[in-house]
Amino acid sequence: MATSSGGKAKYIIGALIGSFGISYIFDKLISDDKIFGGTTPGTVSNKEWWAATDEKFQAWPRTAGPPVVMNPISRQNFIVKSRPE
């Protein structure tokens, strides 16, 4: 007994939408509403701390080689050379 693929597709799509909906609800309850208790760390909620940390990381000198551009398609690294002006 053969069934059409259109009949199967509606169940698959419905299941995917339902699973994303359930995942969103649980994520919101656990992470945002903190149903198990806890608080958001100050390192996440404090914008001044984030700005100071970012400034510190940007101030560190580069100790590696020259900057490279990653090409994820060919998995090759290319050294970035500045153009002479």
| pLDDT score recorded for residue 43 | 79
Characterize 39-72 residue by residue with b for buried, 16 or more Cβ atoms within 10 angstroms of its Cβ, and e for exposed. eeeeeeeeeeeeeeeeeeeeeeeeeeeeeeeeee
Q: Is the pTM of this model over 0.85?
A: no
| pLDDT score recorded for residue 45 | 82
The rounded distance, in Å, linking the Cα atoms of 19 and 21 is 5
Helix (H) or strand (E) holding 78: strand 76-79
Q: Which residues of the chain have pLDDT under 50?
A: 1
